[in-house]
A and B are shown apart, each in its own frame.
Chain A
Amino acid sequence: MANDPIHQFHINRIVPIEIGGLDFSFTNSAAFMVATAALAGGFLYLATAKRAVVPSRSQSVAEMAYDFIRNMLTDAAGKGGMRFFPLVFSLFLFVLTANLIGMFPYFFTVTSQLIVTVALALLVIGTVVVYGFMAHGLGFLKLFVPSGVPGLLVPLIVLIEVISFLSRPISLSIRLFANMLAGHITLKVFAGFVTSMSALGAVGVAGALLPLLMVVAITALEFLVAFLQAYVFAVLTCMYLNDAVHPGGH
Chain B
Amino acid sequence: MVAPSQPEGRNSATPQLSEAELERRKRELDAKLAARRQKADVSGEKAVGGMSGMGYALRLSSEFIAAIAVGAAIGWVIDYYAGSTPWGLIVFLLLGFAAAVLNVLRSAGQVAPSKVHGPGDRV
Contact = CB atoms under 8 A, between A and B. Distances in A.
Tell me if chain B binds chain A: yes
Interface of A: 74, 78-80, 143, 146, 156, 159-161, 163-164, 166-168, 170-171, 174-175, 178-179, 224, 227-229, 231-232, 236, 242-243, 246-250
Given A79-B123, A227-B51, A250-B115, 10 more contacts: A143-B114, A160-B95, A164-B67, A164-B99, A167-B63, A167-B103, A171-B67, A175-B62, A243-B115, A250-B114
Nearest to A232: B55
A163 B73 CA distance: 10
Contact of B99 (A167, A178, A249): A167
Contacts of B106: 164
Which 4 residue pairs of A and B lie closest in terms of their CB atoms, listed nearest first?
Answer: A171-B66, A163-B99, A167-B67, A78-B122
Contacts of B66: 167-168, 170-171, 174
Contacts of A231: 55
A80 B122 CA distance: 8
A171 B65 contact: yes
A170 B95 contact: no
Nearest to A224: B51
Interface string B92-123: 10011011101100100000101111100111
B101 to A, nearest CB: 9
Interface in B44-77: 51-52, 54-55, 58-59, 62-63, 65-67, 69-71, 74
A242 B117 CA distance: 10
User: What size tier do the contact residues of chain B reach?
Assistant: 20 to 34
Given A163-B95, A224-B51, A236-B59, A170 B70 contact: yes
Contacts of A248: 115
A243 B114 contact: yes
A161 B102 CA distance: 8
Contact of A143 (B58, B115, B121): B115
Contacts of B69: 167, 170
B70 A166 contact: yes
B115 A78 contact: no
A164 B116 contact: no
B58 A246 contact: no
A65 to B, nearest CB: 17
A249 B62 contact: no
A163 B55 contact: no
Interface in B12-69: 51-52, 54-55, 58-59, 62-63, 65-67, 69
A237 to B, nearest CB: 13
Contacts of A171: 59, 62-63, 65-67, 103
A78 B114 contact: no
Contacts of B112: 250
A161 B117 contact: no
6 contacts: A78-B122, A160-B98, A163-B67, A164-B102, A168-B66, A174-B62
B99 A160 contact: yes
A223 to B, nearest CB: 11
A159 B58 contact: no
A179 B96 CA distance: 23
B121 A161 contact: no
Contacts of B51: 224, 227-228
B72 to A, nearest CB: 10
Given A231-B55, A236-B59, A247 B115 contact: yes
